[in-house]
Amino acid sequence: MLGTCSHGRRDLVRRRVAPTLCLVLAVLSLLTAGCGPFDWTIVHEVSPAQLQALMDDGLPLQIIDVRTPAEFAAGHIHGSVNRPLADLDTWAAGIDTPTRICVVCQIGARSATAAEALVARGFSQVYALAGGLAAWPGQLVTS
């Protein structure tokens, strides 16, 4: 009888506990796969204050305004360049993938789309301004 009970426990472990443990370990490995000091494989949404800090840190940063030319002319961040979202395939090909880029638009929707497309094309340091220019407290330049 004692041998049957012990065998029954081993069978229970083999049928239930082991697969559950394997599943837990697989999920944990997937969740921690990209973890490191900083994972650049995703879009980083930044606040206006964080964007200002990026602009002031002395490292190269390209600010790309993905709105239409008319929207850009009505007001944009000083130093930004207008590259409409509709033309992303064309202008993205002319930028080196290691370039730090922050994409902006009016409220953040188009810049999020552009940022995700840039990451999918191999860009590794992509930021998107949270809330877009509607959240930008600084002066806008008109042209």
Choose among 89, 91, 96, 104: nearest CA to 140.
Answer: 104
Please state the φ and ψ torsions of residue 64, each to the nearest 5 degrees.
-115, 120
DSSP output for 69-83: HHHHHH-B-TT-EE-
Strands (E), the chain: 44-46, 62-65, 81-82, 101-104, 126-129
For residue 122, give both structure tokens.
């191999």
Query: For the chain, what is the radius of gyration of the CA atoms?
Result: 24
105: annotated active-site residue: yes
Q: List the catalytic residue out of 5, 22, 102, 105.
A: 105
Q: Which residues are catalytic?
A: 105
